Amino acid sequence: MLKSYVSLFIPIVAAGFLYASCQNKGIYDPSIEPNTAPAEQIVQGDAGNVTATEYAAVKCSSFISGNEAGKAFDGSTSSFWQSQNSSPQWINIDFGYSRDFNQVKIFWGSSFAKKFTINISSDGSTWTTVYTGGATKYGWQVITLSQTMKWARYAGVYCYDRSQNWGNQIIELKVVNASYYSYYTDPATGKKYASNTADISVLVNKDRNLSSTYVPSDLSVPNVTFAISEYAEKKNMRREAGSALEKMFLAAQASGLTLVAVSGYRSYATQQTIFNNKVSLVGFTNAVKVSAQPGQSEHQTGLAMDVSCWSQGAQLTTAVGDTPEGKWLAQNAKDYGFIIRYQLGKETITGYSYEPWHVRYVGVTHAKAIAAGNLTLEEYLYRIANN
């Protein structure tokens, strides 16, 4: 169970004694010291919640932001912080805007914490503990979190219990992105395979594959209007995506429109059959523009659904985008966590022709950000990882 982190920051002693007890031996880059932060900003230091002005004076802990924080992201090399002879300690990274991540790497110096927590925050004031553990040796400690931390702007490590941790030292802290870089390369084929398949922000395209054995663990049939009445594999979606689809269909219905679900989850084998059939009809070169090769279909994630309307006979054609239902979908899908995955004019980025019927679930926060920037999922995830 995740718990609030705020309660951990309890003032230890009077400020005068605290200042005298601080023996921080250095922040490598003076530009990242917090003394330029707004005075009203609340940050976490040795003595609990303090203002930025007090924080700058105490300097028993560290805080980085902006470009310097970017060096700590996605495993880039950055030796930016070192503290000796002061404990408890708190290091807080402000990414500048929200990101997703699922792994934290800490390089411990000659002294290391017997007990510490990793914490996240979206606003810098309310913190949630996502990991509790201890360091046992000098060097790197790689921590894979139990779930992807979604849309967190701040990450922090807190080393506590002065009697156990006196002299603990963090030399480097890195946070590894789960949204874009989470993949592995098959040495035999050179193909890249998504390794964060459980994440709703997983990227699947012509450059990011799913294995032939991947099947989402939580598939179920959402309670929406389907083009066919009998059960079929393609009626399934991952549970979170299906629940969001139900809400979206009800909202459209409240607006006097009926959306029709056509095709959701497809297994690797099903996609193989669909692609082979398309190749036999139009040839390979034309087939890859409109149909995914097996392992490269979003439908295999269980996060996509093809949506049409009765006026189009529940068919999947570009004309869907010109119907009242298609226009409503394009305008409102983001409010329910969906994006129009293959946009008009973005074919060179997505690798596929315009599909106004193909909606992909990414969660409301991501969907709204993607829509606001008129971005594809590729552009959005790349921006998160690199800006």
Predicted TM-score of the model (pTM): 0.61
Residue pLDDT, tens place only, 19-66: 222 233 222 222 333 333 333 333 333 333 334 443 343 334 455 544
355 is catalytic: yes
Task: For residue 80, name the pLDDT band (cuts at 50, 70, 90).
Answer: very low
Mean pLDDT within 113-131: 85
Residue pLDDT, tens place only, 234-247: 999 999 999 999 99
Q: Candidates 3.60.21.10, 3.50.50.60, 2.60.120.260, 2.60.120.280; correct CATH number of 3-177?
A: 2.60.120.260
**What percent of the chain stands above pLDDT 90?**
44
Model confidence at 162: pLDDT above 90: no
Return the minimum-mean-pLDDT range out of 146-160, 278-292, 329-343.
Answer: 146-160
Mean pLDDT within 108-125: 81
Q: Where in the chain is the domain with CATH 2.60.120.260?
A: 3-177
The pair of structure tokens assigned to 242 is 């299906």
Query: Which has more pLDDT, 146 or 160?
Result: 146
Q: What is the CATH number of domain 183-386?
A: 3.30.1380.10
Determine which one of 233, 325, 355, 378 is catalytic.
Answer: 355
